[in-house]
Amino acid sequence: MKEKIIFTNGLIDLAQPRLGTKVIYKTDDFFASANRIISPTIPVFKDGVFDKHGKWMDGWESRRKRTIGHDYIILKLGKPGKISKIDVDTSHFIGNQPAMISIEGAFSKLNKINKLKWNSILSKKKVKANSHHFFSIKNKKIFSHIKFNIFPDGGVARLRLYGSIAKSKIFKNKKMNLASLLDGASVIACNNEHFGKAENILAPGKAKNMGDGWETRRRRDKGNDWLIMNSIDGNFIDKIEISTHHFKGNFPSHCSLQAAYLSSKSSKQIVNSSKKWKYLLKNTKLSANKTHIFKNSLMKKEKINHIKINIFPDGGISRFRIFGKKI
């Protein structure tokens, strides 16, 4: 059976807290905290659980509006960026979801809400109960703040803002982690992320648990699992770190790295060409719950901006870092 490839096209959720995104204003969150709407976890329903305000819900929920107007929250994005796709998730909100939603954006280096100039990102759209609502966005501006409107009130489980981080000024020849999510590195494609998203390995800090890493299902056929990432343009690759923290009985047997420097190509073209890329690290044994440090000896001077991580045959890794000079 032909393997299904997951194409992410380099998009990441700009609303995720680990980028520094946070809720800086809400009109009301009487029934459920506005902060839950950007939680990285899948929303859950806890049957029979109530708090002092009523039924506990995993999302943002305002009280029934008895005055003119509508409810909204304002997010300060941890990393400004362009938004390409949006997912408004009303999972488990049945009878208490909003009638409609809309989204606006602004760019400012300040947090003065009354000074923000809002631009429409998504006009008013109807929403359904217990559903994902996906929208493609045509507005190509860079935003630092997002205003999420619900009409007139109600609850939304999660808001995902998929896009790309605006490139910050990084000085050339600076030695840095070329695989940093915070500086714009992203996953383009992978063959499987059954237990943990591939993007997790580019996150800062040490993984909190297995769910905070990339983990594939148990392979029952030939081949191996892999991901392809778009790194920051670099050369003079020095140190490589591959961490298997928390993966004790499910770490890969070994791994390899391939790399290339590519001009603009489609994700499908990149995947098809990756089999022929040069090796940055050949088949190397991995161990459980450990940070492995390797010195690059195969591609010392070549430029790279794409990396393929092959794991054999399957399993999980928690973090990946590769240090070189920005070009």
Mean pLDDT along residues 222-242:
96
- Choose the weakest-confidence range: 242-246, 295-299, 320-324: 295-299
For residue range 276-292, list pLDDT tens digits in order: 999 999 999 999 999 99
pLDDT tier for residue 95 given thresholds of 50, 70 and 90: very high
Q: Are strands 143-151 and 100-106 parallel, antiparallel or unpaired?
A: antiparallel
pLDDT exceeds cutoff 80 at 314:
yes
Q: Hey, which residues does 131 pair with through a beta bridge?
A: none
Spatial distance between the Cα atoms of 232 and 5, rounded to a whole number of angstroms: 23
**What architecture is domain 12-165?**
Sandwich (2.60)
pLDDT band at residue 167 using 50, 70 and 90 as cut-offs: confident
Q: What is the pLDDT of residues 210-219, one digit of tens each?
A: 999 999 999 9
Prior bond to 152 cis, omega within 30? yes
- Lowest-confidence range among 22-26, 61-65, 80-84, 296-300? 296-300
The one-letter amino acid code at 53 reads H
Report helix, strand or coil for 274: helix
Range from 54-58, 118-122, 166-170, 232-236 carrying the lowest mean pLDDT: 166-170
Which tens digits make up the pLDDT trace of 182-211? 999 999 999 999 999 999 999 999 999 999
Q: What is the pLDDT of residue 2?
A: 64
pLDDT for 16: 96
Residue 27 identity (one-letter amino acid): T
Do residues 262 and 308 lie in contact, with contact meaning Cβ atoms separated by under 8 Å?
A: no
pLDDT of residue 170: 79
pLDDT single digits (tens) 269-280: 999 999 999 999
Mean of the per-residue pLDDT values for the chain?
95
Give pLDDT, residue 168: 76
Assign 3-state DSSP to the chain and report helix, strand, coil percentages, each to 5: 10, 45, 45
Does the structure show a pLDDT above 60 at 143? yes
Burial of 135 (0-12, 13-18, 19+ CB in 10 A): middle
Residue 1 pLDDT greater than 60, yes or no: no
Which pLDDT band, with edges at 50, 70 and 90, does 53 fall under?
A: very high
Class of domain 168-326: mainly beta
Q: What is the mean pLDDT of residues 152-162?
A: 98
Flag the least confident range among 158-172, 211-225, 236-250: 158-172
Residue ranges matching CATH 2.60.120.260 in the chain: 12-165, 168-326
For residue 261, report the phi and psi dihedrals to the nearest 5 degrees.
Answer: -115, 115
CA distance 22 to 296: 38
Q: Which of 87, 90, 103 is nearest to 61 (CA)?
A: 90
Sign, Cα dihedral of 23, 8, 315, 293: negative
Structure tokens at 39: 């939680």
